[in-house]
Amino acid sequence: MTDAESTTDQLESNAEQPQMEFDVFCHECGYNLRGIVTTRCPECGTASPALQNAKPSIPWAHRESLGNVRAFIRTVLFASFGLRKLSQNVYLPIDFAESQKFRRWTIGTTMLFAIAFVVWFQVSGVSGLLSDSFITDLRGMIWPSVVIVGLLALYVVLATGVPSLFFDYRDVPVSLRNNAVALSYYCAAPLAWWPIPLAISVLIILQNPIDIRNRWLAVTLTSIAFIAPLTPIVLWCFQLFRIAKRVLRGQTGRKVWLTIGIPLLWFACAILVFLLIPLAGFYTWVLVDALS
């Protein structure tokens, strides 16, 4: 250890130590840092943000200096592609209300895309792409679009809330549990750009790549059409799993349940929102129509 390093360590150890009510693990080597008096991991020497009273590295926490829109875009990129970075924040003080605000912004962005699509669908005179008489009829009516947007909004609200259920364990210390739940809302960040790969996929499918003479190009395009809309979901799940790895340490059963349970619940919500609720609505309409 050089002189400069030992001085910093001394300075850091003199700094006020945070009160840790739960086990804090080194984000590099996994060593348990509970009760450590310096700010560095004794095992590998990495400076631990949790022991330095650091602010979370999530750009959304620095909204005041960045501005809402810039902080939002940066957080979306950070939480989508900063593969390990988001989960490293789990031992830092994360503001729960801020995470909820980020969730609302994410849902809002997705819905803006959806509304833009519906408006385009209603006003576009694209006859080549959508020439089906059924689609033309559909475009003549406003209410199906309104219903679909409403159901989609309900689904997105449910889907972004589902992962939080899998971190809510009574035996996990309250602040760690709250941090994990708050981070699980940040994990939904890929929702904000989901419509982009979705649009790419739809455009490819509309071009009928199977008909392309060049076999390889056809196969590549078809694969992209299938894989592109899945990438945001994969990134979302990946981030959730990174958090679970830190919060549910050594609890394999819970991690397996999280890995299976979240996609299952997402599917169940889709059945509820896009099948059962419209069916209930349809029967109510039939009933009201018959009675009146």
Residues that bind Zn ion (CB under 5 A): 26, 28-29, 31, 41, 43-44, 46
Nearer to Zn ion, 48 or 109 (CB): 48
Alpha helix ranges (H) inside the chain: 3-14, 63-66, 68-81, 96-123, 133-140, 143-161, 174-186, 195-206, 215-227, 231-247, 252-271, 277-291
Report the C-alpha gap between 104 and 109 in whole angstroms.
Answer: 9
Could you tell me the two tokens for 209? 């790549």
Kindly report the backbone phi and psi dihedral angles of residue 261, in degrees, each rounded to the nearest multiple of 5, phi listed first: -65, -40
Nearer to Zn ion, 41 or 156 (CB): 41
Minimum distance from residue 53 beta carbon to Zn ion (Å): 18
Nearer to Zn ion, 44 or 280 (CB): 44
Report the C-alpha gap between 190 and 202 in whole angstroms.
Answer: 18
The answer to whether the beta carbons of residues 261 and 268 sit under 8 Å apart is no
Nearer to Zn ion, 31 or 169 (CB): 31
Minimum distance from residue 25 beta carbon to Zn ion (Å): 8
Nearer to Zn ion, 41 or 258 (CB): 41
Minimum distance from residue 205 beta carbon to Zn ion (Å): 48
Minimum distance from residue 48 beta carbon to Zn ion (Å): 8
